[in-house]
Structure formats: C-alpha cells, structure tokens
Structure 1
C-alpha cells in the first residue's frame, strides 16, 4: 500500500564527535493501486468577515451618494470595484460550480469577525443551492477579528471519525485578538490530523499563520493585491489557488500517518519535519508523532533529526521506526513494522565526510526558513548581516532549483539595499514562501553542496 525508503545523510559517523547530528530521510510513496483510489474529503472554509474585508482591491471604484453605518463608522458606498470579501465569495462559488467536487466531498462555511457563525456544516458538495446560499451570506457580517472563534467552530464541523481527508482553509486580512486561543486550537487540529491552509492578505500576523500551518502540517500563503511575483499569490488568482489546493486534498490517498520512534541511550530525536512537497515542523509532544498525509503519484519526504553522543567505533542500532496509516479510498489501515536504523561509527574523519546529497538537499531547504526568519528579525538593527543571510538563502534556493523562492529573495535583497529595511509585505512573502514552496530533490543534483555547507547543517 505504501512504498517506504529510509536513508541517513551519512552511513559513517565519527566515533569521537559528541553532540553530532544525523539526518534521516523518510520517503513515502503510495503504490499504484492505492494512488488510483479517491478519498472522501471534508473541508471547512473559515473566512474573515471583519470590516477590513470590505476594502477594494481590484477594479476602479466610483463613489456614490449612499452612506452606510458599519463597525461604528460611516462609509460612503462605491461601485465598480471588487473588495476582498467579493473575491473570496467569487472564488468559493467558482470552486462549487467547477465540477471538481462530488458527493464524496463535504463542505462547511464558517465566518468570523468578533463573533463566529457556521453558515453550513459538513454538507455534500452536490447540494449546490444550499452551499451557494451560505457562501453569499458571508457578505452579511462585519466587525472585529477573532480568528480563534472561527477555528473553534471549524474543529467542530470537521469532527468526523470516518476515513476522510480533512482540511481547514483559513482566509484572513488582519491581526486577531485571540492569538493564544488559535495556538491552543492548532494543537487540537494536529491531534485530529486536520491540516490548515492559512492564507493572509493585508496586515495579518504571518508568524501566527506560519505556526498554524506548521503545527497542523498545513501550508501558508501570502496573498497580495494586483500582480504577484515569486512565492506570493495574487488575490486575482485566488479562485485558481483554491481549486488547486482542494485538488491536492482529493489526492491524499494515505492519511493519519503516525510515526513511532524508539531511540537507544545517548540518541535523541530533536526534530521531525516534512521537507516536500511543502514544509512543516511537527511537535514532538505526541507519541506516536502525527505527521499528516501522503499524496498520490508523488513522493512525500520527511526529515528526522537526531542528536547523537560520542561512542566507540562499531556498528550500532541507534533507533527503530514504526508507522501506521489509513487508506481512506479502501477503508482500511496499514502498518510498517519496526525498522532498524543502523549506523557505523568509525575512528577519524575520512569515511565520515561522505554524505547523501539528496538528503542534504532536503535538509538545506528546511534550514532556509530559519535563515530567512533570522534575516527579517535583524534587518533594521543590522541590515548588512541581514543582507548576508538573504544572500546565503538565495544562493541555496538557486542551487536547488527553487526559482520562485529565488525571485522572492532577490526582490527582498534589492529592497534591503535601497531602503535598509524589509517591508511588511516582503517579509510576509519570503517567510511564508519558504514554507509553502519546496522542490523535489534527486540523485542528479548538478551543483553538489560544499563541504562547508554540509558541516554547517550537520553540526560536524
């Protein structure tokens, strides 16, 4: 049901090095039989309907004489332009009428401002009229921003114990006042294996959206008005983005991956990451570790990071890995028996310098997000150092073939050189883009990583 390959970044480790790193690549790909199945899906759209969602982002609005009262303020009505909420409504209706959903797909529509309402819950996508009416109601609300209330209702709407691929798609354009509640709910989404697709436009908190997508194994997007470059998404292309992401949910033929890791004394599991097709870092609090789902017709790649104490030169089993999972299209469960992770410890450094370039390519992609976060943090206090970090990340994305991320980093560097700072929009694009867009590695990398880069990543 599931083809699995386990590859360490080194087959030999120096025996006399303390606190060294071992990166283990876990590559999963469904068998052809399983890849051709179709999982049922359960999708909740959690939409910000606060007052700022009514700002015009497309077209040429023309003011009228009509004045309305909203959120305690007076606003002059304009015609001819499209607001954020208009485009979200168009996008959801476009998906509903696209023909890509069927009776196996269930839809929930939830709005939030300073309150939250479930407009329709877990309804088969074939009930087009009812879902359409719920989507149109999104324009009936306005207020502040309390995302946590919307997420709470989404968790209830997705409380489905049948085998299905589930997803919460969250769209927001502002700073929520209940960030702590969002973080707490994200843990519950993770336990239930409900990834979040977090889309932000405007002055939202990108760190929060990155955390929500990370903790749940989802994906973040920075949505921008007008033309988008690099890893950003244009709000005008939002309908295509929605259709594409929901299409991926329909391809999750393996779900509820639960990873068991048993280590020997002197070995600690320090990180569990998904490296491809998008990035996420999973919590180590759960046992077994919930690591999400696997797409049909492609590989899903995880990186396990171990910290290892020095030991005598010998061949040693340092860990055992086990895996359970669901196959919703066939309504059954699968299991991988415990697999031994064996490493040869050797005296000296000669054999230990040999590394697997495919594994290190994924490790470097995971490290890029950390480099970018640090660059944006120090940009205003130390622009020179921030520029060095961005250049390091840019060179790596170029070498690995991540064109979109390279373009985003090049733009950020140009802006930093000219203004000595990184704007809010650029910061969002590069921080979220480093998570949402990764590239597939292979054994045929043209430009191999330098020894210095390998040592920096592996801590040896």
Structure 2
C-alpha cells in the first residue's frame, strides 16, 4: 500500500569522534493501486470576521459620503471596491460551484472575531443551497480577534471523522488575543491528524501561523492585496488557492501517518521535518509522532536528524523506525514494520567523507527556513550578517531550482541594501515562503554549498 525508501546522508561515520549529526531521509509513495482510490474529505473553513476584514483591498472604491460605526471605529462607506470578507465569500462560492466536489466531500464553516460560532456543520458539498446560505452569513459578524475560539469550534466539527482526509483552512488578517490557546489547540489538531493550512493577509503574526502549520503538518500562504511576486499569493487569486488546497486534500490517499522511533543509548532523535512537497517541522512531544498525509502519484519526503555520541569502530544498530497509517479509500489501516537503522563507524576519514547527495540536498532545503528566520531576527542590529544569511539561502534555492523563493529572497536582499532593514511585509513573505511549497530533488546538484558552511550558518 505504501512504498518506502530509507537512506542516510552517510553510510559510514568516523569512529571515536565527538557528537555527530546523522540525517536520515524517509521517502514515501503510495502504490499504484492505492493511488487510484479517492478519499472522502472533511474540510472546515475557519474565517476571521473581525472588523478589519471589511477593509477594501481591490477595485477602485468611490466614497458615498456616508459613515458607519463598527467596533467603536468610524468608517467611510464606499462602493466599487471589494473587501477581504467579500473576496473570501466569493472564493467559497466558487469552490462549491467548481464541479470538483461530490457527496463524499463535506464542508463546515466556522467564524471568529471576539466570539465564534459554527455557521454550518459538516455538510455534503452537493447541498449547495445550504452552503450558500451559510457563506452569506459571514457578513453578519464583526468584532475583535480571538482565533482560538474558532479553532475550538473547528476541532469539534471534524475530530471524530475517521477514515477521511480532514483539514482546516484558517484565514486571518490580524493579531489574536489568545496565542497560547491557539498553540495548545494545535497539539490537539496534530493528535487527531488535522493539518491546518494557514492563510494570512495584513498584520497577522506569522510566527504563530508558522507554529500552527508546523505542529499539525499543514501549509502556509502569505496573501497580499496587490500583485503577487515570488512566493506571495494575490488576494485576487484566493479562489484558485482555496480550490487547489481542496484538490490536494482529495489526492491524499494515505492519511494519519504516525511514526515511532526507538534509539539506543548515546543516540537521540532531535528533529523530524517534512522536506517535500511542503515543509513542516513536527514537534517531538509524544510517540508515535503524527506526520500528516501522503498524496497519490508523488513522493512525500521527511528528514530525521539524530545526534550520535562517540563510538569505537564497529557496525551497530542505532535506531528502529516504524510507521502506521490509514488508507481511507479502502477503509484499511497499514503499517511499516520496525526497520533497523544500522551504521558503520570506521577509523580514519576516507570512508566517512562519502555523502549521499540527494539526502543532503533535502537537508539544505530544510535549512533555508532557519537561515531566513535568523536573518529577519538580526537585520536591524546587524544588516551585514542578515545579508550574508539571505545570500546563502538565495544560493541554495537557486541551485535547488525553487525559482519563486529565489525571487522573494532577491527582493528581500535589495530592500535590505536600500533601507538597512527588512520590513514586516517582506519578513512575512520570505518566512512563510520558505515553509511553503518546496522542490522535489532529482539527481545531483552542481556546486552545492559545503556541509561545514551549512552547519556554521544554520547551527545544524
């Protein structure tokens, strides 16, 4: 049901050396038989309905001369433009009329401001009139921003749906008052294997959205009101982005992946990262570790990082790795029996210097997010250091072939050189983009950055 390939970045490690890193690539691909199945889906849209969602972002608005009050603030009424909530509503309408959904696809809609409610529970996508009525009600709300309340409603809506591909799409345009509640709830989403796709526009907290996506194995999209460049998504293209997210869920024929890793004394698992088709770093809270889903007709690639203490020359088992998973299209569960990870420790450095290039290319791709995050932190105090980090990340993306991310990093570098800082919008673009869609590695990459340089710059 699931083809699995395992490879380490080195077949040999030096004996009697201080603590070393070992990178293990886990590559999953559903079999052809499983890839022809179609999972049912349960999709919850969690929509920010706070007052700022009524800001006009597209079109050429014309003032009417009238004012109105929302949440204690006064606004000038205009016509001819579209607000953020208008575009979200139209995006959801286009989705249910797209012809891509059938009765096995179920949708629920949750709104949140400083309160939250489930506008409609899980409903077959073919019941269009019911869904349209629910979507229209999104305009009936306004208030502050408490995202955690909306997440709580979403979790209640789909947590008990077994043997289906579950997902929450979260759209927000501002800061929330309940960050810790959001982070705690994300752990429950992860336990129930409900990835969160986070879409942010405006002055949202990108660190929070990145945390929600990482914890649950979801995805990130940075939405901009104007024309998009690099890894950005224009709000005018929101209908397309939402439709693509639903299509991706329909292709995830393997769900509820859970990994168990048992290490021997002197070996510690320090990191699990999904490297492709998008990046997410999973918290090592409790085994088995939930690591999301796998799509049909493509690979899903993970990198596991181990810290290995000094050992004498020998051939030893350092860890065991196992997987369990669901195949919702066949209403079956599957497993990968425990696999032994055996490593040879050798005297001298000749054998140990041999590196699996594919594994290291994925490691490099995972480290781009670390480099970008560090650059945004030090930019104001040390712009030269920030530029060095961005240049290293840009060279990585260029050699890997991630053109959109290369473009975003180039623009960030240009801004840093001109202003000696990285603006909030640019920071969101490159931080969210580095965790977004990644590139499948095929074959060797010429002139790759040396492993020692990666370790020095990223701390890996």
Residue of structure 1 in register with 2:80 after alignment = 80
Query: How far 1:328 sits from its partner (Å)?
Result: 0.2
Residue of structure 2 in register with 1:49 after alignment = 49
Q: Which secondary structure does the structure 2 equivalent of 1:210 belong to?
A: helix
- 2: distance between equivalents of 1:459 and 1:145? 36
User: Per-residue CA shift, 1:191-234, capped at 9, x if unaligned?
Assistant: 00000000000000000000000000001111001100000110
CA contact (8 A) 1:357 1:448 kept: no
* Pair 1:378 & 2:378 matched: yes
The aligned runs of 1:149-228 (5 Å cut-off) are 149-228=149-228
- 2: distance between equivalents of 1:101 and 1:292? 22
- 1: distance between equivalents of 2:96 and 2:390? 41
TM-score (norm 2): 0.98
* Pair 1:29 & 2:29 matched: yes
Residue of structure 2 in register with 1:357 after alignment = 357
TM-score (norm 1): 0.98
TM-aligned CA distance change 1:334 to 1:183, over 3 Å = same
- 2: distance between equivalents of 1:260 and 1:148? 30
CA contact (8 A) 1:44 1:109 kept: yes
User: Per-residue CA shift, 1:71-109, capped at 9, x if unaligned?
Assistant: 123322110000000000010100110001110101011
Query: How far 1:448 sits from its partner (Å)?
Result: 3.8
- 2: distance between equivalents of 1:410 and 1:285? 36
* Pair 1:90 & 2:90 matched: yes
The aligned runs of 1:4-153 (5 Å cut-off) are 4-153=4-153
User: Per-residue CA shift, 1:311-339, capped at 9, x if unaligned?
Assistant: 11111111111111000000000011111
- 2: distance between equivalents of 1:145 and 1:68? 20
Query: How far 1:455 sits from its partner (Å)?
Result: 6.0
442-451 vs 244-253, which deviates more? 442-451
Residue of structure 2 in register with 1:434 after alignment = 434
Residue of structure 2 in register with 1:3 after alignment = 3
Residue of structure 1 in register with 2:388 after alignment = 388
- 2: distance between equivalents of 1:401 and 1:17? 35
Q: Which secondary structure does the structure 2 equivalent of 1:199 belong to?
A: strand
Residue of structure 2 in register with 1:313 after alignment = 313
TM-aligned CA distance change 1:138 to 1:262, over 3 Å = same
CA contact (8 A) 1:19 1:310 kept: yes
Query: How far 1:159 sits from its partner (Å)?
Result: 2.0
TM-aligned CA distance change 1:75 to 1:30, over 3 Å = same
Residue of structure 2 in register with 1:263 after alignment = 263
Query: How far 1:237 sits from its partner (Å)?
Result: 0.6
Query: How far 1:350 sits from its partner (Å)?
Result: 1.1
Runs of at least 5 residues in structure 2 that lack an aligned partner in the other structure: none
- 1: distance between equivalents of 2:459 and 2:237? 42
407-416 vs 160-169, which deviates more? 160-169
Query: How far 1:451 sits from its partner (Å)?
Result: 5.2
Query: How far 1:458 sits from its partner (Å)?
Result: 10
- 2: distance between equivalents of 1:17 and 1:250? 48
TM-aligned CA distance change 1:388 to 1:455, over 3 Å = closer
Runs of at least 5 residues in structure 1 that lack an aligned partner in the other structure: none
- 2: distance between equivalents of 1:458 and 1:9? 18
Aligned residues: 460
Query: How far 1:286 sits from its partner (Å)?
Result: 1.6
TM-aligned CA distance change 1:436 to 1:9, over 3 Å = same
TM-aligned CA distance change 1:130 to 1:459, over 3 Å = closer
User: Per-residue CA shift, 1:402-457, capped at 9, x if unaligned?
Assistant: 11100000000000000000010000000000001210012243444435446658
- 2: distance between equivalents of 1:447 and 1:3? 31
CA contact (8 A) 1:20 1:458 kept: no
CA contact (8 A) 2:389 2:457 kept: no
